[in-house]
Chain A
Amino acid sequence: MAARMTAKMVRIACIVLALAATTAGDAFARPASSGWYAEGGLGAVTFLPKAYKSAAPGPAMNLRIGRDLLPWFSVGVTLAASSHEATVPAPPEGEWFQLYRGGGDVRLGGRIDRIALFIEGGAGLAMISSNVLGKVMITEPGENIALAFHAGGGLEYQLENRHYAFGLAADGFLIPQFDALKAIDSRLYLRYTY
């Protein structure tokens, strides 16, 4: 299964790279700035089995700062925070926790006119605000920071102003130390390129 997933990811990456290669040299109908950029997004984080039984989907916010190194390649650092109701067996009941994530990633992509497609992936740290998930053994005593990995993709719509674009993205993330907690972070964002 993991091999099939990897093959699928490689295929997607090849398509995106091919798209980037065919479009990178063109004169775009809608110009877009390139270089340093910042993104701010709002969305939701939804947990996947088996953590979804113990934590409800919750609102999330993301910030990203990056730099386009090539027309099809950029690097960035991200910060994200999301808030969730713990749905562990009572007691406790109706308690919330926050999940903070930060790290670095790379992004591959290309653009056709006003639409850009990209895939991204990276690693960083995740921090959980309380031990409420300890009741279902997702966290261990004294453990609230862990390594996190994420990968995903999205698309951007370039506005007429060359500095601004709107985007829609979804990343899956994995936190192995938190009992291999998996979740999907989906977001709508605004990008400003300097």
Chain B
Amino acid sequence: MRRSMAVTTTLFGTLLGTLAGACTNDPLYIPGAMALEAGMDDGAGGLIEARSSLQLPIKTETPLDAQTRGTRSGSLMVDVPYVKVGDLEVSVEWTIQNLDSTEGQARIQLNGANEFYDYDPALLAAGIDEDDPQPPGLEGDVPLHVPPGGRISGLFREDQLREASIDLDGITRGNVNPFRATLTVDKNLTAFSELTALVYDENGEPLPQESTGVVYPREAFAGIVRVDLVFKPDRPMVLEYVVRVRDVRGIMHELLDAAVVEAPGELHTFAPMTYAP
């Protein structure tokens, strides 16, 4: 009898432990602020694009975390960010509703910011001839067919957001050419080198770059803290999205987007610089 009792107690304890552990990495959902309507005539021969940004509600860094990070930065000889790749696993789920009675095409471009830099290819495109390749977005920009009056859904997966984070850090802190960064698979990189500044010749071709000797190991890769979407349909359509976060390190604010109103002082304020090479 004692043995049976012990077995039951162990089973009960195991279930309790499993239940407690099961909740540590559950997804959190942060809806986009509003539905994005785009694709209407802008009156100048073009079509209206819609943009949306969603800042992840991340708690203020604790003094202990800041101290640990400072020590780590000193030993690695590079800036270690508060939010690193792997601290948060982010994905974006979306649906597109075609408001028109004919089949249409839409693109969703994903960009974003880490705590050091934000990346907006539209700003980089200034001065580039329209016929030349335009600076790429970090993810997406794939043509999607939407049936007349229909609805489609999809997502940017966690590994795509991880890739986007690493590309963003490589482009901004590492001076990696945006085309090279986005066309190569970097999500499993263990380190990247900072390159010399990106310079173009008189034909607009990038000149070879060399390593400066500064190496960013994976534990210093900056994670994305803001998700930016650009919605580009060819006829009136509506985009709705939700950002899904698995909080691996436990740094998201428990009130999520409501914290902006209810506890703004408990949110970490990031001030990324706009990337402009």
Contacts and interface: CB of A to CB of B under 8 A. Distances in A.
A131 interface: yes
A179 interface: no
A141 B95 contact: no
A91 B26 contact: no
Interface in B81-102: 93-95
A194 B258 CA distance: 51
A184 interface: no
Contact of B29 (A40, A65, A102, A135): A135
Contacts of A92: 29, 93, 242, 244
Given A132-B29, A141-B256, A194-B1, A79 B12 contact: yes
Nearest to B2: A194
Given A65-B12, A92-B93, A130 B28 contact: yes
Interface string B16-46: 1001001100111101000000000000000
B255 A142 contact: yes
A79 B255 contact: no
Contacts, number: 79
A166 interface: no
A151 interface: no
B16 to A, nearest CB: 7
Given A38-B8, A79-B12, A90-B95, A130 B22 contact: no
Interface string B218-255: 00000000000000000000001110100000000011
Interface SS of chain B: helix, strand, loop or mixed? Answer: mixed
Interface residues of A, number: 27
B144 interface: no
A129 B26 contact: yes
A127 B20 CA distance: 10
Given A92-B29, A93-B93, A135-B29, A194 B4 contact: yes
A73 interface: no
Contacts of A79: 12, 15-16, 19
A141 B257 contact: yes
Interface string A56-82: 000000010100000000000001010
A38 B257 CA distance: 43
Interface in A122-164: 127, 129-132, 134-135, 141-142
Interface in A87-116: 90-93, 95, 97-98, 100, 102
Contacts of A102: 19
A52 interface: no
B71 interface: no
B32 to A, nearest CB: 9
A136 to B, nearest CB: 11
A95 B27 contact: yes
A130 B27 CA distance: 6
A66 B57 CA distance: 44
Given A63-B15, A98-B22, A93 B4 contact: no
A91 B93 contact: yes
Given A38-B11, A92-B29, A95-B27, 20 more contacts: A63-B11, A65-B8, A79-B15, A81-B15, A90-B93, A90-B95, A91-B95, A91-B242, A93-B93, A93-B95, A98-B26, A102-B19, A130-B26, A130-B28, A131-B28, A132-B29, A135-B29, A135-B242, A141-B258, A141-B262
Listed from nearest, the 7 A-B pairs whose CB atoms lie closest are A141-B258, A91-B93, A38-B8, A129-B26, A142-B255, A91-B242, A92-B93
Interface of A: 36, 38, 40, 63, 65, 79, 81, 90-93, 95, 97-98, 100, 102, 127, 129-132, 134-135, 141-142, 192, 194
13 contacts: A38-B11, A79-B12, A79-B19, A90-B240, A92-B93, A98-B22, A127-B19, A131-B256, A135-B31, A141-B259, A141-B262, A142-B256, A194-B5
